[in-house]
Amino acid sequence: LTEKFSNVVEKLKRAKKLDEKTVDEALKDIRRALIEADVNIEVVQKFLNDIKQKLVGQEVIKGLNAGETVIKLIYDELLNILGKEEPLKKAEKTPTIIMLVGLQGTGKTTTAGKLANYLKSKGFAVGVASTDVRRPAAAKQLCTLAESINLPCFVDEEEKDAIKLTEKVIEKAKNAGLSYLILDTAGRLHIDQELMDELVEIKNKVHPTEILYVADAMQGQDAINTAKEYHEKVGLTGVILTKVDGDAKGGIALSVRQVLGVPIKFVGVGEKINDFEPFHPDRIAQRILGLGDIQSLIEKMQAAIDEDKAEKMAKRMMNAEFTLEDLKEQLQMIKNLGPLENILKMIPGIGSKIKDLKVDNKQFVKIEAIINSMTPEERQNPHIINGSRKKRIARGSGTTIMDVNKVLKQYKEMKKLMKKMKKSGKMKLPFNMPN
Ligand code: GDP
Ligand code: MG
């Protein structure tokens, strides 16, 4: 761990359990990291209080030390709070209207284009419309964007009344046979009552299926306070976080969930039309905690799990009662585990001998098919497999008698080798062998 938590990890290297003292120590660093990532201080407070209860008494995760375990559990909890990806809701009658709201400059118009482009790429008929009557340039900006991606843009430059304009553009859009209409709305530099009234009126007129608040992640806490007011006055169904590129730290995502309780649906990650993706909680959580840190933790855990499995596998391979059934099971495990070398490495004395061993996955599939075509009895007692049985097995597995012979021979050799190794007693196994 090199990024934010080297401190806590170093300090708690030798702690055996997550007792209260260990947890308190770890949470000090976590608190600082969360605040640095722009998470609201009250949200941090509540989050840490809640999680402390869960952490105390937990086992240290295999492959990690106590400090790393705390960070991993914090990460899991962040994922939990951030929620799952939630798709856009659909209206019963087309078009589904998605209204974008938010202050000026947060990225509404850009996002309208991005969202329209995203839905178009999913095969939907999409259009955009603007209800901004105060700034004619706003509608132009939207239509230029729409044109660049060949989507219809509904405007009426003559109409100066926002509500009437909304009625007109919706009417036009409805006749166009669209699945989705993205409605870009006017913004202001600050919250103002007139704008809120206007948005509520538009809402009541068009009954949008989604009202998405476009939140500028660079604005940190301010974005949340504004969003809260929008939520109280207009009612939001979700949030799109923009500018989650560059320096934005993503902490605001946590506040969105904790303070507003609505899902984050999409994330804008740049100025270009394709810089847009459905919300991935893991990406945001990693942004909050530090990407490198979390990835290395997950890799360590994975390595520990693999080692565990490989150890068990090696143990079974050393078992003299090795049957074709075992072989098949092991082939399946090998497929999941990756290279056979990793498993054989666990058997001391073998590692060096198999340096150049290359395992062909296609070969595995064949062996598995052949064993599958055997009866349970044949798998336990391969010596009963005579000519006519071989013929049946070959036919059943879509292979040849030669293939069947090859598998049987390989199996015999493996078993012989294992017996020899066990007897020679030269090897010291890293675990206790059952006798
Ligand atoms: P509006 O006033 O809410 O409609 O905001 P605009 O859509 O006009 O965007 C304001 C500025 O933010 C523009 O310069 C956009 O290019 C920029 N912008 C929007 N979304 C993103 C984003 O996800 N990342 C970055 N870096 N810039 C963005
Ligand atoms: Mg705009």
* DSSP characters over 136-152: HHHHHHHHHHHHHTT--
State the architecture of 6-84 in CATH terms: Up-down Bundle (1.20)
The answer to whether 96-279 and 318-424 have equal CATH topology is: no
The model scores a pTM over 0.95: no
State the architecture of 96-279 in CATH terms: 3-Layer(aba) Sandwich (3.40)
Residue 396 CB–ligand 1 contact under 6 Å: no
Calculate helix-pair angle for 361-372, 387-397, nearest 10 degrees. Answer: 120
> Can you give the pLDDT at residue 1?
46
pLDDT digits (tens, 9 = 90+) for 375-416: 999 998 899 999 999 999 999 999 999 999 999 998 888 777
Residue 58 CB–ligand 1 contact under 6 Å: no
Residue ranges with CB less than 5 Å from ion ligand 2: 108-109, 138
State the architecture of 318-424 in CATH terms: Orthogonal Bundle (1.10)
Q: Which residues pair with 99 in a beta bridge?
A: 183, 211
Is 242 annotated in some ligand binding site? Answer: yes
C-alpha 97 to ligand 1 mean position (Å): 21
Counting residues of the chain whose pLDDT is more than 70, the rounded percentage is 86
Q: What is the mean pLDDT of residues 59-84?
A: 88
Give the integer Cα–Cα distance in Å for 160 and 310. Answer: 72
- Residue whose CA lies nearest to ligand 1 atom number 6: 107
pLDDT digits (tens, 9 = 90+) for 343-387: 565 555 555 555 555 556 677 788 889 999 999 999 988 999 999
- Residue whose CA lies nearest to ligand 1 atom number 16: 271
Mutate to test the pocket of ligand 1, among 99, 101, 109, 110 (most ligand atoms within 8 A of CB): 110
Q: Which ligand is nearest to the CA of 106?
A: 1
Q: Which ligand is nearest to the CA of 145?
A: 1
Whether the pLDDT of residue 259 is over 80: the answer is yes
Q: What is the total residue count of the chain? A: 435
Residue 107 CB–ligand 1 contact under 6 Å: yes
Q: What is the mean pLDDT of residues 123-139?
A: 91
Residue 258 CB–ligand 1 contact under 6 Å: no
- ipTM for the whole complex: 0.99
Residue 415 CB–ligand 1 contact under 6 Å: no
Spell out the domain ranges in the chain: 6-84, 96-279, 318-424
Give the integer Cα–Cα distance in Å for 218 and 161. Answer: 33
> Can you give the pLDDT at residue 337?
57
Residue 187 CB–ligand 1 contact under 6 Å: yes
Is 222 annotated in some ligand binding site? Answer: no
Q: What is the mean pLDDT of residues 43-49?
A: 90
pLDDT digits (tens, 9 = 90+) for 320-351: 567 788 778 767 766 665 555 555 655 555 55
Element housing 268 (H / E):
strand 264-268
Is 102 annotated in some ligand binding site? Answer: yes
Give the integer Cα–Cα distance in Å for 242 and 107. Answer: 7
> Can you give the pLDDT at residue 204?
95
